[in-house]
A = this chain, B = another copy of it.
């Protein structure tokens, strides 16, 4: 049995696993991100965890390589981490070379959204498609592009920043520009809009549920209120669907994917979000385009990052020198 070592490096926890060629997780473990104060400690811990997983599954087997998804800016070509947004001490780290010298096996380092996009495209909700746009809706909005059957990373591996796509050229200015999607569609944007409606005196079950403490509002509460037919909650999701639908329409005109795969915590609202989202997308496209694109929920859940980190290894050119399918 061939497998890759996979690491999903998050701001809170580091998840590790063995991933086979079909994207199956054979074993996994995790440790807290703050448990390893620097790069050296992190690499040692990662090596120890992965060797333990391998030994438990098949002591005689060697991993074909190691793939790592990280939360920040990466130069994929060099496997070089510019910086990680929420993890101190990780600026200018040549992680691919560090891992190769330490472990003696091929290594791939990419950002976590790309890893998730690869996993969902190849083994999840986009399986069998050649053009997939992956969108993750959480605190922020991230994305990844799977074009013509492979990850597209752009000129300096920063492509796919769908959260900064502008939906209003005259919108409020942020450090990333004006009217960026993330300001309307992320958790903060969703909750902010709901609080605005409640403060304006709109009647809603939400007032009772959060006992007047509006700062206790969450996307999950909003989603539950929407399922009960609460008008304020429904309005928040419909507005989110219109903003996101506008961005997906633009992406359809530019990239014509076969499918949008939408994941992340906010996507947990299910049809409360997907039904108006599909309608908004359809209404914002000409029939030639509207009839040829689908919007589906992500399928791999919290495993996407780990499965994708493993899949990065299978795409390494080093593994395809003798024809690949060994």
Instruction: Give residues in A with beta carbon < 8 Å to B.
Output: 73, 82, 130-131, 143, 145, 147-148, 152-162, 164-170, 175-179, 242-243, 246-247, 249-251, 253-258, 283-286, 288-289, 292-293
Number of copies: 2
Given A167-B169, A170-B168, A156 and B286 touching (CB < 8 A)?
A: no
Q: Are A165 and B286 in contact (CB under 8 A)?
A: no
The smallest C-beta distance from A264 to any residue of chain B, in angstroms, reads 18
In the complex, A256→B251 CA distance in Å?
14
Cα A203 to Cα B152 in complex, Å, equals 50
B176 pairs with A256, CB closer than 8 A:
no
Point out the residues of chain B lying under 8 angstroms from A82, CB to CB: 288
Of B143, B167, B254, B284, which is within 8 A of A251 by CB? B254
B160 touches A292 (CB 8 A): no
Q: Give the nearest-CB partner of A184 in chain B.
A: B169
Which B residues are CB-close (under 8 A) to A179? 246
Which of B170, B247, B256, B285 is close to A155, meaning CB atoms less than 8 Å apart?
A: B256
Q: Which residues of B contact A152 (CB under 8 A)?
A: 147-148, 255
In the complex, the answer to whether A292 meets B166 with C-beta atoms within 8 Å is no
Q: In the complex, which residue of chain B has the Cβ closest to the Cβ of A259?
A: B155
| B253→A161 contact, CB < 8 A | yes
Centre residue among A143, A158, A242 by max chain B CB count within 10 A:
A158
Contact present for A178 and B246 (CB under 8 Å): yes
Contact: A154 with B246, CB < 8 Å?
no
Complex Cα gap A155–B147 (Å): 9
A167 CB contacts on chain B under 8 angstroms: 166-169
Q: CA of A159 to CA of B255 in the docked complex: distance in angstroms?
A: 5
Within 8 Å by CB of A156, from B159, B160, B256, lies B256
A-B contact pairs, 24 of them (CB 8 A): A155-B256, A155-B292, A156-B256, A158-B256, A158-B288, A158-B289, A158-B292, A159-B256, A160-B254, A162-B253, A164-B253, A165-B250, A166-B284, A168-B170, A169-B243, A169-B246, A175-B286, A177-B246, A177-B284, A177-B285, A177-B286, A178-B246, A178-B284, A179-B246
A128 → B minimal CB distance (Å)? 12
Cβ of A131 and Cβ of B154 under 8 Å apart? yes
- The residue of chain B having its C-beta at the shortest distance from the C-beta of A243 within the complex is B169
